[in-house]
Structure 1
Amino acid sequence: MKIIFLGTSTGKTSANRFHSSLLFSFNDYNLLVDAGEGVSLALLKNNTEYDSVNGILLTHLHPDHFAGLPGLIIQMKLNERKKPLQIFIHESLKSVVQNLLLNSYILPDRANFEIRYVTFKENEEIKISEKFSFIGRKNSHLSKLENYKSIYPVLSLFSGSFLFRVVNKQIVYTSDIGSEKDLLLFQDITPDILITEANHISINSI
């Protein structure tokens, strides 16, 4: 397993870092976790071909985590991609992403390749390959928006932290969180690796 940090910037754009994006590479499968603005350029700078990305997992829909998705898919099309692309998304967010791509004029009837949506529920284990899987659990990153649900009933407030299982290794990846309590979402296991952001919490709390 190889883990490549393509983007580690916060929501504030940086001249030196790209927005959130992480690449898990295991055997012949490359999983992109989040696709923040500038992810296409980040892949180029890392000498990673667009066609080598097999799947994209979106943790939540803040722009710094997924605004680069339409542009990346366009780059794949321009590079004449043929093989299907998997998009792993919480079940409450699938229609949002589909509508975004449609309104970006990324039309299935005009695509060179198929986009396959793989939805997941909280605590459901999703197998990417025989020895590569993940489980998502909702964290509190978007809980401050709960009061807006009555005004915008279609609003989904899923923001995920994830446990990845790769062969006999366990990796916890938090993406954005609401408080240090979210670091304990997978306290029932002992991870081999913990990857967490440090913008919404202090270093000392980690």
Structure 2
Amino acid sequence: MQFIILGSSPGLPQLDKHLSSLYVCHQGTHLLFDCGEGCSRQLLRYSLDKDLLDAIIISHYHPDHFSGIFMLIQMLYLQQRQKTLHLYLPEREDDFEALLNLQYTFRKRLSYRLVIHPMEDLPLHYPQIMIQSTNHLHGYSQIIQDLQLSNTMKSWAFQIGESPHSLVYTSDIQQTDCITSFLDCHTIIIDALHPEASQITSLAELSIPRVILTHGISEELSEWMAAQAPASFEFAEEGKHYYIND
């Protein structure tokens, strides 16, 4: 398995980082997890061919994780991509298509077939991927109820490949409890900003070979990294080619 972190910034944009995006190649399948602003530029920068990508998977609808999807869909059209592209969304698939139509990005006019799926279909189509719902968006429940919105507060974490040689991408999480079943892995790319620092540091007890911190970092965790982090802990490095032997 090979992967490239295209974006590792927190929600507040930074000059030296891009918004969340992860490119994974596993068993000949090319997958893009999240598509923050600037993702298209990163795909060009690292010469990732327009026809390689098999599927795009959006973990949740915060803009720093999916605002780049519209530009990417348009770029692939302008590049005259022909291969079918599968798009897995966390919720409200029909409303997403309405956003495409609002931007005059009509699926019928694309040079390629864009197939939109609910996230629950992902492991059915790609058995090497496991999904886990998280509670990252549950803090919005009251305002969703007050405004009578259709939001279902779905957010997802992912395991690619089989344990113990798997890659875990948590996307945004509030606690690590939701990913316990994924922790027999080789590499975890974990949100280092939202969970309590103690939840991240406790991963050192599990002997995970590689823990990659992304999406910002809390002050407490930053101090721990500087003082006592084991060699298996590292900060996400955009553009680096990482490998896992299956």
TM range (shorter): 0.7 to 0.9
Q: Write the distance in 2 (CA, Å) between the matches of 1:202 and 1:152.
A: 31
Q: CA deviation at 1:167?
A: 9.0
SS in 2 for 1:95: helix
Match of 1:61 in 2: 61
TM-score (norm 1): 0.87
1:19-98 to 2 correspondences below 5 Å = 19-90=19-90, 92-98=91-97
Number of the residue aligned with 1:103? 102
Going from structure 1 to structure 2, the CA distance change for 1:46 and 1:83 (only over 3 Å counts) comes to same
Whether 1:173 aligns to 2:173 is no
In structure 1, the residue matched to 2:188 is 194
Structure-2-length-normalised TM-score: 0.74
Instruction: Measure the CA separation in 1 of the matches of 2:133 and 2:152.
Output: 11
Higher relative contact order (CA 8 A, sep 6+): 2
Contact 2:35–2:68 (Cα < 8 Å) also in 1: yes
Task: Mark the runs of 5 or more structure 1 residues left unpaired by the alignment.
Answer: none
- Give 1:175 shift: 0.2
Q: Distance in 2 between matches of 1:87 and 1:99?
A: 15
Q: Contact (CA 8 Å) 1:174, 1:196: kept in 2 or not?
A: yes
**1:152: how far off?**
3.0
Q: One-letter code of the match for 1:59? A: S
**8 A Cα contact 2:92 2:151, kept in partner:** no
Seq. identity, % = 26
Matched, 1:205 2:204: no
Q: Which residue of 2 aligns with 1:137?
A: 132
Is the alpha carbon distance of 1:46 and 1:203 closer, same or farther for their aligned partners in structure 2, counting shifts above 3 Å? farther
Please report how far the alpha carbon of residue 15 of structure 1 lies from its aligned counterpart in structure 2 after TM superposition.
Answer: 1.1
Gaps of 5+ in 2: 201-246
In structure 2, what is the Cα distance between the partners aligned to 1:177 and 1:127? 25
Maintained 8 Å contact 2:9/2:17: yes
CA root-mean-square deviation: 2.1
The one-letter code matched in structure 2 to 1:110 is R
Contact 1:126 1:135 (8 Å CA) reproduced: no
**Pair 1:198–1:147, CA change in 2 (3 A):** same
Choose from 148, 154, 158 the match for 1:158: 154
The total of aligned residue pairs comes to 199
Q: Distance in 1 between matches of 2:70 and 2:199?
A: 35
**1:98-133, Cα deviation, whole Å (9 max, x unpaired):** 2221212111221111101232339x73332xxx52
Larger radius of gyration: 2
Letter paired with 1:147: Q
